[in-house]
Amino acid sequence: MALKFATNTRKPLPKFSIGFLLLSFALTWLAQSHPEWQLFARFAILPEAFFTGERLNLHQWYRLLTAIFLHANWFHWAGNMVIFLPLGIHLERHTNSRWFAFVFLFSGLVGNGVSLVLLRDSGHYLLGASGAISGLLGAWLRLFPQKRLHVLIPIGLYLQKARVPISILILVWLVTQFALQLNSQSYHIAWSAHIAGFITGFVLASVVRP
């Protein structure tokens, strides 16, 4: 499946999106090439280390943000970029970089915070931009519910072009996240971060206009 957005006007350069893409790529390369640097131990979220009994150790709050820029491996990074590149870059170009960065980072922070509380006993690192990207999906649904995606659907040896409302795709995605969260038996994917990030992005786009 391929995504395409049509536009007849020249839009500004998506500075934040490009910066995030390059920084997350560089950090993924460093984490894979130099494990001795212990980037995850320094900047990712380890839920069980955040709590002392019932008390939350807030001195590590910065990890809720830094974890957004880290990814477990190249597959994890590429999976997030498949969504971020067509949707995130387009959203930034049609709003503005400051608003976009605020929604992206705050959605990621809230998503990570919710997952931290729900997975408080987990010994697995929480990291990645999924919660932040989910916030962009929520903002998309709020700002451009009538926008359609040009989709190429492979049918046998042929590609069929179709125009699908983005709201339908996002709502299908959201229902899937809830289903996975309710049936999840593993801490390896924090579906709760996706849901919380999405809701945060939707609300922010409703009350803070770009």
Condensed to tens digits (0 to 9), the pLDDT of residues 165-198 reads 777 778 888 888 888 777 765 546 788 899 999 9
Can you name the residues that pair with 49 across neighbouring β-strands? none
Predicted structure pTM score: 0.84
Please name the helix (run of DSSP H) or strand (run of DSSP E) that holds residue 156, with its range, or none.
Answer: none
Query: Looking only at Cα atoms, what is the longest distance across the chain?
Result: 58
Going by the DSSP 8-state scheme, the letter that residue 121 receives in this structure is T
For 133-160, what is each residue's pLDDT tens digit? Answer: 999 999 998 998 877 766 666 666 666 6
- Cα 52-55-58 angle, rounded to 5 deg: 95
Residue-averaged pLDDT of the chain: 84
Would you kindly state where each structural domain of the chain is located, as residue ranges? 13-207
Q: Is-contact 87 156, C-beta < 8 A?
A: no
| Nearest-angstrom CA–CA distance, 2 and 159 | 10
Q: Work out the percent of the chain whose per-residue pLDDT is above 70.
A: 84
| Nearest-angstrom CA–CA distance, 27 and 31 | 6
| Nearest-angstrom CA–CA distance, 22 and 182 | 34
- Among 137, 20, 29, which Cα is nearest to 83's? 137
Domain 13-207 maps to which CATH number in 3.10.580.10, 1.20.1540.10, 1.25.40.10, 3.30.1490.190? Answer: 1.20.1540.10
